[in-house]
Amino acid sequence: MKNPMIRIHNIETDEIIDREMTNEEAAALLPNPLTEQEQAQLDAKNAAQAKLAALGLTADDLKALGL
C-alpha cells in the first residue's frame, strides 16, 4: 500500500517538495487498521444488530429480557 503524500513548503526559499510519507510518519498520522479477527467480530455484531432491528428489537430489549 502506498503511503499518503506530504507537502513541505520552505517559506524562506518558497521551495515546495511533495513526497510520499515514510512508514513512520504514516503510522503516527493514520489510525491503526483493525485485525482480521477484530473486523470479523465487528461485522458479526453489526449483522446481529441488523437482524434484531429487522425483528423490531434492540440490544436494550434483549438486556431487559435477560439475554
Residue 36 scores a pLDDT above 90: no
d(CA 20, CA 40): 31
CA triplet 61, 66, 67: central angle to 5 degrees? Answer: 80
Whole-angstrom CA distances from 64 to 32, 51, 58 are: 35, 18, 10
- Supply the pTM of this predicted model: 0.46
Q: Which residue has the higher pLDDT, 48 or 67?
A: 48
CA triplet 27, 28, 31: central angle to 5 degrees? Answer: 65
pLDDT band at residue 35 using 50, 70 and 90 as cut-offs: confident
Q: What average pLDDT does the segment 6-13 reach?
A: 95
